[in-house]
Homo-oligomer: A and B are copies of this chain.
Amino acid sequence: MIGSPTTPEVGCGARDSDVTESTVSLIARSRDGDRGALARLISQIEAGGAGARAVSSGIFAPIGDAWTVGITGAPGAGKSTLTDRLVTELVSDADRIGVLAIDPSSPFSGGAILGDRIRMQTHATDSRVYIRSMATRGHLGGLAAATPQAARLLAAAGFATVLIETVGVGQVEVEIAAHADTTVVVVNPGWGDAVQANKAGLMEIADVFVVNKADRDGANDTVHEIESMLMMAVEREWTPRIVSTVALTGHGVSELAGAIRSHHEFVVASGAREIRRRVRLEDEVRAIAVGFATDLALQQCEGPDFDALLDAVESGAVDPFTAAERISARQL
What residues of B have a CB within 8 angstroms of the CB of A288 in the complex?
Answer: 320-321, 323-324
User: What CA separation (Å) do A321 and B270 show in the bound complex?
Assistant: 30
Q: B285 touching A292 by the CB < 8 A rule?
A: no
What residues of B have a CB within 8 angstroms of the CB of A2 in the complex?
Answer: 322, 325-326, 329, 331
**Which residues from 109 to 155 on chain A have a C-beta closer than 8 Å to any C-beta of chain B?**
109-112, 115, 136, 139-141, 145, 148-149
Q: B281 touching A310 by the CB < 8 A rule?
A: yes
| Shortest beta-carbon distance from A76 to chain B in Å | 9
| Shortest beta-carbon distance from A248 to chain B in Å | 17
The reply to whether the CB of A301 lies closer than 8 angstroms to some CB of chain B is: yes
The reply to whether the CB of A318 lies closer than 8 angstroms to some CB of chain B is: yes
| Shortest beta-carbon distance from A226 to chain B in Å | 14
Interface residues on A, range: 35 or more
Q: B292 touching A106 by the CB < 8 A rule?
A: no
Q: Which stretch, A164-172, A211-219, A256-264, touches the partner chain B? A: A164-172
Task: Report which of B106, B174, B289, B326 forms a contact with A174, defined as CB distance below 8 A.
Answer: B106
| Shortest beta-carbon distance from A318 to chain B in Å | 5
Against B, the Cβ 8 Å flags (1 = close, 0 = not) of A182-196 are: 000000000000011
Task: Report which of B108, B196, B292, B320 forms a contact with A284, defined as CB distance below 8 A.
Answer: B320
Q: B52 touching A281 by the CB < 8 A rule?
A: no
The reply to whether the CB of A198 lies closer than 8 angstroms to some CB of chain B is: yes
Q: B3 touching A110 by the CB < 8 A rule?
A: no
Question: Of A195, A285, A300, which is in contact with the most chain B CB atoms at under 10 Å from its CB?
Answer: A285
The reply to whether the CB of A304 lies closer than 8 angstroms to some CB of chain B is: no
Task: Report which of B61, B110, B281 forms a contact with A198, defined as CB distance below 8 A.
Answer: B110
| Shortest beta-carbon distance from A62 to chain B in Å | 5
Against B, the Cβ 8 Å flags (1 = close, 0 = not) of A302-326 are: 0000001110111111111111111
Task: Report which of B11, B110, B141, B201 forms a contact with A197, defined as CB distance below 8 A.
Answer: B110
Q: A320 touching B60 by the CB < 8 A rule?
A: yes
Q: A309 touching B8 by the CB < 8 A rule?
A: yes
The reply to whether the CB of A81 lies closer than 8 angstroms to some CB of chain B is: no
What residues of B have a CB within 8 angstroms of the CB of A112 in the complex?
Answer: 195-196
What residues of B have a CB within 8 angstroms of the CB of A145 in the complex?
Answer: 320
| Shortest beta-carbon distance from A322 to chain B in Å | 5
The reply to whether the CB of A10 lies closer than 8 angstroms to some CB of chain B is: yes
User: What CA separation (Å) do A171 and B10 show in the bound complex?
Assistant: 39
What residues of B have a CB within 8 angstroms of the CB of A201 in the complex?
Answer: 107, 110
Given contacts A301-B285, A331-B5, contact A57 B314 (CB under 8 A): no
Instruction: Known A-B contacts: A107-B202, A289-B301. Give 14 more (CB < 8 A).
Output: A2-B322, A3-B322, A8-B309, A11-B316, A15-B322, A105-B171, A107-B197, A107-B199, A109-B197, A110-B201, A115-B196, A140-B170, A288-B321, A294-B294
